[in-house]
Structures are given as C-alpha cells and as structure tokens.
Amino acid sequence: SYFLTQPPSVSVAPGKTARVTCGGNNVGTQSVHWYQQRPGQAPVLVIYDNNDRPSGIPERFSGSNSGNTATLTISGVEAGDEADYYCQVWHRSRGVFGGGTKLTV
C-alpha cells in the first residue's frame, strides 16, 4: 500500500504564508492534487498536477513537488482559507488521500 503523510494541523497569522506538506515515497514522480474542505462542505480542487490552478482559484494558492514531499503554499493567508486540506495521488489502480491538515488562521 502507498501512504501520504500530512501534518494534522498548521497555524498561520493572517497575511502570512502557510505551507502544508504531503510526504510519500518518491511522491515527486507522481502528480499530486490538493483539495480544500471547509466545515460542512464538499471538497474543492485547489491545485492539480502539482502546481496548476483550476479557474476561480486565487493565485495565492500554489504547489510544488519534489523528492518525497509535495507542498501546498498559500500566500497572504485570509480568514476564509481556514479549512482542511487534503493531498491526493493515483497509485497502482488506487486513489490515495493524505490524512488531511487543518489550517487555522
């Protein structure tokens, strides 16, 4: 089985930069997708293929992926960014999600 490891929580002050990591064996060779889930809502895609943004997602959201770690970076964090964030890959006929990171602003 393949696992993705995320920190349970990250705290950041408004206006600062938040970084959420996603660790996995050679994850840098895979395409990582990131989802934001606000309380009581369905997940929303915020980054796909490591560093691409869907339309409507602010430029403040960016991603990177190398070696054993993928990172979601949120610049100029706003109160509305407070949510759970999940990374996801496809690996050997399986969808794999990280355990999720609660971002507190």
Partner 1 sequence: QVQLVESGGGLVKPGGSLKLSCLVSGFTFNDHYMSWIRQAPGKGLEWISYIDTLGNVIYYADSVRGRFTVSRDNARNTMSLQTNNLRSEDTAVYYCARGQDYIWGSPHDFWGQGTLVVVSS
Least Å distance between CB 95 and partner 1? Answer: 3
Name the burial class of residue 7, with classes exposed (0-12), middle (13-18) and buried (19+) by CB atoms within 10 angstroms of its CB: middle
> Which residue among 54, 58, 67, 76 contacts partner 1 (CB under 8 A)?
54
- The full DSSP string for 52-90 is B--TTS-TTEEEEEETTEEEEEESS--GGG-EEEEEEEE
Q: Does 100 bind partner 1 (CB under 8 A)?
A: yes
Q: Does 57 bind partner 1 (CB under 8 A)?
A: no
Q: Does 24 bind partner 1 (CB under 8 A)?
A: no
Q: Does 58 bind partner 1 (CB under 8 A)?
A: no
Nearer to partner 1 among residue 17 and residue 104 (C-beta): 104
* Dihedrals phi, psi of 22, to nearest 5 degrees: -140, 105
